[in-house]
Structure 1
Amino acid sequence: MRTRLAIKFHALLERHFPERRVFLKSDTDTRFIRLRPETQLIAFTGVSLAVAWSIIATAILLMDSIGSGNFREQAKRDQRTYQERLNQISIERDTREEEALAAHERFNAALVQISVMQSELLESETRRRELETGIEVIQTTLRDTMKERETARTALAALQAEEEGSAHVAPAELLASAGFMTDALARTAAERDQILADAQDALNQRDGLELEIKLMREKNDQIFRQLEEAMAISVEPLDKMFRQAGMPTDRILEEVRRGYSGQGGPLTPLSLSTRGEEPSADELRTNQILNQMDTLNLYRIAAQQAPFASPVRAAVRFTSGYGYRRDPKTGGRRMHNGLDFAGPHGTDIFATADGVVKHAGWQSGFGRLVVIQHAFGIETRYAHNSRIRVKAGQRVSRGDHIADMGSTGRSTGTHLHYEIRVNKRPVNPMTYIKAARNVF
């Protein structure tokens, strides 16, 4: 059975791959090699497999090349997008900073105007009290004069009755008494008219002062509204910035307040009353604005101590973000704890917040490294520098030039590796940069 199958298979192969002979001729001899159908089948199969493998490998390499090209183009587009976004954030930061300075200047001017108006209100209140006292005196004098006039009229009537009943009185004495009473009545009437005129003038002055006080209060209310709006506009972006960065504002403000709790506090509430009375609505609004000013100052101090800024100001490329990525050295997947900004060699690098330099020197992997310790348990790191311009223990402020960009340590090219760590745990620095885009 097996022999018949072998014969049939051999006959099928003979049909497609007939036996061939390859002759090898030399000067003295002629030889040949017989190529059996099985040998030809094996050779054909091997060649076919080799050709198929070549085609598949070429297709894979071509597809990988195309995919790599698309990935590089996408990476370039992402880099351009990030660069444009960083430039836009920088422009918005400058604009918001100018607006904040302008609002602060308007607030200072309004505060001066409030102080002037406070003095004017106190003077107006004093004048009003004096006028009220004068009016009371005038009214008392008028009542006394009217009583005297009535007394004089009664006395005159009694004299006239006595004159009619007493015929033996001398006419000269009666005439003298009548003349005296007439003069007294005339003087009393003149004094009465003068007092009435003075009282009317006082009433007119009081109406004018009341109108002036009303206008002052309206103007004062308008200034209060402007100040309240300015405070809301100034405080809200700062509060939003801290919350977007994941920083608890209550704890941050309390910590800043403890560090800046000098005698008397940042601001002292105003008091418009000198008689120990209950605070008025204006006093309450003033104290509320001063409390908001205190909060605003605390926010500004906290913002200076937190890294709400970009470490580079020149035109750079954003080459790598925070998170897992392909390692540029080994090709493996590993965590990247910061941001990479690529730029020309020697590009200036700036501190992103006030703090104290914790480390300034060489560290394995990071090359020339600067570490700055800030408030609230925050630490910033600036790695791969070509030159360090600060020393350990030195106090720096936001915007101080601390290093130059380079490619020291474990690096594939000139760039800055920027990290932020909170309580020794790395966080995404872009969170802080984006949080500050509407403030600075």
Structure 2
Amino acid sequence: MPARLAYRIHAFLERRLPEQRLFLKSDTETRFIRLKPATQAIVLGGVALLLAWTVVSTSIVVMESIGSGGSREQALREQATYEMRLDEMSRERDLRAAEAAAAQERFAIALAQVSQMQASLLTSEERRNELETGIGVIQSTLKAAMKERDAARGQLAQLSGTGTAKTANAEPDMADVTGTLEFLTAALDRTAQERDSMAAAALGAEKQTEEVAYEMRLLEERHDEIFARLEDAVTVSMEPLDKMFSAAGMDPDDLIGQIRQGYSGQGGPLGPMLPPLPEDESDARALADHARAGTILDGLDRMNMYRIAAEKLPFAMPVNTSFRFTSPFGRRWGRMHEGADLAGAHGSPIHVTADGVVTHAGPESGYGNLVTVRHAFGLETRYGHLSAINVKVGQKVSRGDTIGAMGNTGRSTGTHLHYEVRVNGKAVNPMTYIKAGKNVF
């Protein structure tokens, strides 16, 4: 049975793929190579498998490239939206701070007016009390004088008949006393009216003070809301950055410490100075707000340090056009392949992946046309097999600058970019940095 099956297969192959002979003729002799049906079938099957594998792998790479490009664009849009949101919250915070300062100023003015009115009211009360006391003393004195006068009149009437003349002479004295009493009564009325007006003014100032205090409470609630939103925004923004540096094998705290040693810049739309501590240390609310503002500013400062570090580290992709990974980092054919190969169209622009200084720009054995860029923290990137070089040695470059074009120079079997990342001279897997920054850039 197996022999019959083999015979049928052989007969089928002979009908479909008849035996071919390849003649090789020279000056002295003629030779031929016989291509049996089975050999032809094996060759065609291998070619078909190779083509199928090429189509499938190319489709996967293209789909991944499209997906990664969409993710990068979405991340850039989200980053721009987040920065706009932070700017708006910063402007709103400054506006609320100005409103709070104005409200505090109005509150202080109202308190000062209330204090003045209360002082005037106390003064008028003291004057009224003094006048009432004086009037009481005068009235008692007048009553005693009138009694003494009446007694003296009676005595005079009894002693002599001149009492009528004496009484007539006393009438002017009585008129003077009446005028004095009327003057004092009018002064007392004026004092009472002044006291009443001051009391009404004090009541109005009291209501105004309550309104200002209510506005202050509303502003405090608004400040709490703004603080909470800023704290949430800083926390959400810091988490992917921490993960990015940790995934690249770097300690974020050590990295920020190194950045601070070599960075002394100031400014930026989101970097206001921390307000001074309140003079009244017993004001727990002001101290708590000051502490929260300090925490938020520290977070924003840390984000700024992260931004500087990200610009100095190779987290970006060197190729932004369509490409496919043809060889990863690691051992290949028994030898160490110290980078990653990215194949694309000839002449595709090559971008530097971090800020740095060009240390080599020209031919290099095995690499062909090579550009080497030195970055911060002992890192170095290499871009090999270029068809063109657009930079010079000693030139400073920024992340995203075009430094050359993809080519096929040096020891290369096809158009591609050989991309390396070295730390203190030792080659590391560049995909570690690219994957770490994938969700951030």
Same fold (TM over 0.5): yes
Tell me how far 1:208 sits from its aligned partner: 0.7
Q: Which residue of 1 aligns with 2:386?
A: 385
Q: Give the corresponding residue for 2:440.
A: 439
What's the counterpart of residue 362 of structure 1? 363
Aligned to 1:192: 195
Equivalences for 1:273-292 in 2 at 5 Å? Answer: 275=279, 277=281, 280-292=287-299
Q: Structure 2 counterpart of 1:405, which letter?
A: M
* DSSP-derived class of the 1:81 partner: helix
How far 1:307 moved relative to its partner?
Answer: 0.8
Change (3 A) 1:344 1:393: same
Superposed displacement of residue 61, structure 1: 10
Secondary structure of the 1:439 match is: coil
What is the Cα deviation at residue 259 of structure 1? Answer: 1.3
CA distance in 2, matches of 1:433, 1:75: 25
Task: Kindly state the Cα deviation for residue 141 of structure 1 after the two structures are TM-superposed.
Answer: 2.1
1:270 equivalent in structure 2: 274
Paired with 1:277 and 1:180, the residues of 2 have a C-alpha distance of 55
Once the two structures are TM-superposed, the CA of residue 272 in structure 1 deviates from its matched residue by: 5.1
Residue 294 of structure 1 corresponds to 301
CA distance change for structure 1 residues 307 and 343 in 2, over 3 Å: closer, same or farther? same
Q: CA deviation at 1:403?
A: 1.0
**Aligned positions of 1:8-157 closer than 5 A:** 70=49, 73-74=52-53, 76-157=55-136
Task: Describe the shift of the 1:305–1:136 C-alpha distance in structure 2 as closer, same or farther (beyond 3 A).
Answer: same
Compare 243-252 and 279-288 and name the one that shifted more: 279-288
Report the equivalent of 2:315: 308
The runs of 5 or more residues in structure 2 that have no matched partner are 1-35, 150-169
The secondary structure found in structure 1 opposite 2:427 is strand
Preserved CA contact (<8 Å) 1:407 1:413: yes
Q: Structure 1 residues 159-168 or 261-270, which shifts more?
A: 261-270
Q: Equivalent of 2:330, from 323, 329, 338?
A: 323
Corresponding residue SS for 2:182: helix
Equivalent position amino acid for 2:342 in 1 = F
> 1:245 and 2:248 equivalent?
yes
Q: Describe the shift of the 1:416–1:253 C-alpha distance in structure 2 as closer, same or farther (beyond 3 A).
A: same
Residue 329 of structure 2 aligns to which amino acid in structure 1?
A: Y
Q: Retained in 2: the 8 A contact 1:117–1:220?
A: yes
- Post-superposition shift, 1:98? 2.1
Q: Structure 1 residue 182 and structure 2 residue 185: aligned?
A: yes
Rounded Cα–Cα distance in structure 2 between residues aligned with 1:97 and 1:124: 40
CA distance in 2, matches of 1:151, 1:65: 126
Q: Distance in 2 between matches of 1:73 and 1:207?
A: 82
Q: Which shows bigger deviation, 201-210 or 137-146?
A: 137-146
**Retained in 1: the 8 A contact 2:355–2:397?**
yes
Contact 2:65/2:323 (CA < 8 Å) preserved in 1? no
In structure 2, C-alpha distance between the alignment counterparts of 1:312 and 1:402, rounded to whole Å: 11
What letter matches 1:132 in structure 2?
L
Letter in 2 for 1:195: M
Per-residue deviation, residues 395-414 of structure 1 (Å, max 9, x unmatched): 11111111111111111111
- CA change 1:379–1:335 in 2 (3 A) is same
Equivalent pair of 2:327/2:340 in contact (CA under 8 Å): yes
Distance across 1 between alignment mates of 2:334 and 2:42? 23
Q: How has the CA–CA distance of structure 1 residues 195 and 212 changed in structure 2, closer, same or farther, with 3 Å as cutoff?
A: same
Corresponding residue for residue 259 of structure 1 = 262
d(CA) in 2 for partners of 1:439 and 1:262?
Answer: 23
Q: 1:309 to 1:262 in 2, by over 3 A?
A: closer
Give me the whole-angstrom Cα distance separating, in 1, the residues matched to 2:39 and 2:209: 99
The alpha carbon displacement at 1:310 in A equals 0.8
For 2:62 and 2:191, locate their aligned partners in 1 and report how far apart those are by CA, in whole Å. Answer: 94
Partners of 2:432 and 2:54 in 1: CA distance = 21
Question: What is the CA–CA distance in structure 2 between the aligned matches of 1:185 and 1:289, rounded to whole Å?
Answer: 63
Secondary structure class of the residue paired with 1:280:
helix
- Using structure 1 for the length normalisation, give the TM-score: 0.79
In structure 1, what is the Cα distance between the partners aligned to 2:337 and 2:345? 22
Shift of 1:163: 3.1
Percent of residue pairs bearing the same amino acid type: 41
Rounded to whole Å, the distance in 2 between the matches of 1:76 and 1:377 is 40
Give the structure 2 partner of residue 232 of structure 1. 235
Aligned mates of 2:339, 2:345 — CA distance in 1 = 20
2:331–2:337 contact (8 Å) kept in structure 1: yes
| 1:186-226 residue CA offsets vs partner (Å, 9 max, x unmatched) | 10111011101110110011011011111111112211122
Query: 2:313 touches 2:376 (CA, 8 Å); kept in 1?
Result: yes
8 Å Cα contact 1:93/1:436 also seen in 2: no
Q: Residue 379 of structure 1 contacts residue 420 of structure 1 at CA under 8 Å; is this kept in 2?
A: yes
The amino acid that maps onto 2:290 is E
Q: Is the 8 A contact 1:80 1:317 kept in 2?
A: no
Task: Report how far residue 104 of structure 1 moved.
Answer: 1.8
How far apart in 2 are the matches of 1:418 and 1:280? 53
In the TM superposition, what is the alpha-carbon distance from 1:83 to its structure 2 partner? 3.2
Partner SS for 1:140: helix
1:355, 1:372 within 8 Å by CA — same for their partners in 2? yes
Separation in 2, partners of 1:62, 1:140: 114
Deviates most, 61-70 or 96-105: 61-70
Paired residue total: 378
What one-letter code is carried by the residue in structure 1 that aligns with 2:275? S
Q: How far apart are the structure 1 equivalents of 2:360 and 2:107?
A: 68
Gaps of 5+ in 1: 1-56, 326-331
Counterpart for residue 37 of structure 1: none
Mapped to 1, the partners of 2:382 and 2:40 lie a distance apart of 41
Q: What is the distance in 2 between the residues matched to 1:300 and 1:414?
A: 34
Q: Give, in angstroms, the shift of residue 333 of structure 1.
A: 3.4
C-alpha distance in structure 1 between counterparts of 2:328 and 2:44, whole Å: 25
Q: Counterpart of 1:409?
A: 410
Greater shift, 309-318 or 199-208, is seen at 309-318
Tell me which moved more, 385-394 or 256-265: 256-265
